[in-house]
Amino acid sequence: MNPSHIERGPLFFRDRDWHPAAYTPGYKTSMTRAPFRPLVAMGSTLSEETGPAFGHSMIGALDNNLIMNFTGQPAIGERIIMHGRVLDETGRGVPNVLVEIWQANAGGRYRHKKDSYAAPLDPNFGGCGRTLSGPDGAYEFLTVRPGAYPWPNRVNDWRPMHIHISVFGSGFGQRLITQLYFEGDPLIAKCPIVKTIGNDKAIQALVAPLDMNRAIPMDCLAYKFDIVLRGRRQSFFENRKEGM
Amino acid sequence: MQPLEYLKETPSQTAGPYVHIGLTPNTLGNPGIYPEDLGLSPIRDGAKGQLITITGHVQDGAGMIMRDALIESWQADAQGIYPGNDPRGAADPNVTGWARIIADFDSGEWTLSTVKPGRVPFPDGRMMAPHISLWVVARGINLGLQTRIYFEDEDNESCPVLQRIEHRPRVQTLIAKQTAPGQYRFDIVLQGDNETVFFDM
Ligand SMILES: [Fe+3]
């Protein structure tokens, strides 16, 4: 990679009011897994500003095709393209970001021994994929739209249709896991995990709109989902030693 | 007034109970998609420095050992240089620095085998004590938790990050205890007595 494109500099501070709080009683499991003491807050250091690098050589040809990447036979379900750009908070596209996704199959069932939901496994659906963002931050997956599923929380809680997403920035302090929801799903507004986020604008940032411009006629629909990572400060006035 | 045209970071959501489907499918028992899981080791043969092994578990506020926790680690090489985008130069080519560590599905124990990292400068030039950065996710964790492993047999007194912890007894929650030469124990407590220090950095 061209050294001038290496990402450096202190990270923007995380807006903790925008993210979900740790302790959110509507999502019961968070009650015993939330730290009670305040986080120790300070600016980023090299340990947060540097991060692992991933190369295109490690990505297989079908890694971003969840319809075909398990057995080579097509998975069942509504075929969709999930696409978007990885950006940072300054609006720049971020290249070479590893995006990993996992999801239930079209019936709402995960390929996991702890998932005992009545919907059947699809023998041709593994449920994960990965890709690296391109030079402008763009990424895409081909998959099936996952089904909604019930989960043990309150008596009758159901997860809206969703895709889990894991992203690396160029710094370990940008590490993020989130979930994509689908435009128009009535279960979004009822979901205790969605509602761990207190800000409705922030919730809307996780809802992917239907994108007919990227749909392929007679083949698949498309949903657009941009991912925004913490930005980096650029200033000649940073209180830093030369060469850092 | 001119608009401030920044985007907001994508809000976090929990990794949920099935994070291993996505991040460690082979270890979970869903082989066939990737040749191997990512982050199996932060080093390759020939990495310079002291080989060490750190073992621990993650415990919740009810005292339960978590068997669904996933941890990622990031560290410098033995000279204190980070692989990749460290502005000070190139790291040991046999140190990738990053690992994905999963709690054992039955016991909840996890292990990290690596080289002990060197000291890395704080932004003002003072040196931070040798440490490994961790990021912890699991069902019930709404936003990944940042913490650090320091080492009992290093000089941690002058570390500018540890100095920022006002309640001094809590510093001990970040210090791995040596159980044998090159062997350390580091347990993470999410909530309650001996709650691990987590950072917002
Ligand atoms: Fe899920």
Domain-embedded: residue A29: no
Domain-embedded: residue B29: no
Q: List chain B residues with CB under 8 Å of A58.
A: 38
Residues with Cβ–ion distance below 5 A, ligand 1:
B 16
Domain-embedded: residue B10: no
Q: Give the confidence band of A1 by pLDDT, cuts at 50, 70, 90.
A: very low
Domain-embedded: residue B159: yes
CA B138 to chain centre: 14
| Closest CB from A32, A90, A206 relative to B60 | A32
Domain-embedded: residue B181: yes
Domain, as residue range, for B161: 36-189
Q: How many domains does chain A have?
A: 1
ipTM of model = 0.97
A139-176: pLDDT as tens digits = 999 999 999 999 999 999 999 999 999 999 999 999 99
Q: How far is B29 from chain A (nearest CA, A)?
A: 9
Strands (E), A124-215: 128-132, 138-144, 149-151, 157-159, 162-167, 176-182, 207-208
The 8-class DSSP code of residue A93 comes to: B
CB proximity B200 to A under 8 Å: yes
Domain-embedded: residue A147: yes
Domain-embedded: residue B99: yes
A193-209: pLDDT as tens digits = 999 999 999 999 999 99
DSSP 3-state helix, strand, coil percentages of chain A (rounded to 5)?
A: 10, 25, 60
Centre a 10 Å sphere on the Cβ of residue B100 and count the other Cβ atoms it contains: 20
Domain-embedded: residue B26: no
Domain-embedded: residue A236: no
Domain-embedded: residue A205: yes
Identify whether A214 is a catalytic site residue. no
- How many angstroms separate the alpha carbon of residue B199 from the centre of ligand 1? 27
Domain, as residue range, for A84: 54-229
Domain-embedded: residue A242: no
Find tokens 């739209």 and name the residue: A145
| CATH at residue B128 | 2.60.130.10
pTM of the predicted model as reported, rounded to 2 decimal places: 0.96
Strand partners of residue B53 = B113, B183
B40-73: pLDDT as tens digits = 999 999 999 999 999 999 999 999 999 999 999 9
Q: Which of A40, A86, A132, A233 to mutate to test the interface with B (most CBs of B within 10 A)?
A: A40
| CATH at residue A223 | 2.60.130.10
| Closest CB from B7, B20, B165 relative to A40 | B165
Domain-embedded: residue B15: no
Q: Helix or strand or coil: residue A136?
A: coil
Average pLDDT in the A48-63 region? 94
Domain-embedded: residue B43: yes
Q: How many domains does chain B have?
A: 1
Domain-embedded: residue A221: yes
